[in-house]
Amino acid sequence: MFEIKKQVVEWDDTLWVVKRMIPDSYKIDIPGYKEYLGADKVARKNGHYFFLEEVKEVGILEESSYIDESKKKTKSKNKKK
């Protein structure tokens, strides 16, 4: 099992997932790149463009609902007689 980490920022009292961050010195078609990434918003700060996707729903996972597959023990089907 692997874990995917995403950068989440708060902007205008809303949570956003950062889909991509690029320097504003890059000469690209910002609206076209926004559409390509499927971003909801583009923000510019500290010399970078932030392509953002709005977090629409937040939930809490309880520890007991998470099962680490690597720690499960399996029983051997081949028993010696």
pLDDT tens figures, 12-46: 888 899 999 999 999 899 999 999 999 999 999 99
Please name the residue that has the structure tokens 């392509």. Answer: 51
For residue 29, tell me if it sits in a domain: yes
For residue 81, tell me if it sits in a domain: no
Domain that holds residue 18: 8-58
The two structure tokens encoding residue 63: 């520890």
For residue 31, tell me if it sits in a domain: yes
The two structure tokens encoding residue 75: 């029983």
pTM of full prediction above 0.85: no
pLDDT at 6: 81
For residue 72, tell me if it sits in a domain: no
Rg over alpha carbons for the chain, rounded to the nearest Å, is 21
For residue 51, tell me if it sits in a domain: yes
Phi-psi region of 38 (alpha: psi -120 to 50; beta: other; left: phi over 0): left
d(CA 12, CA 55): 13
For residue 32, tell me if it sits in a domain: yes
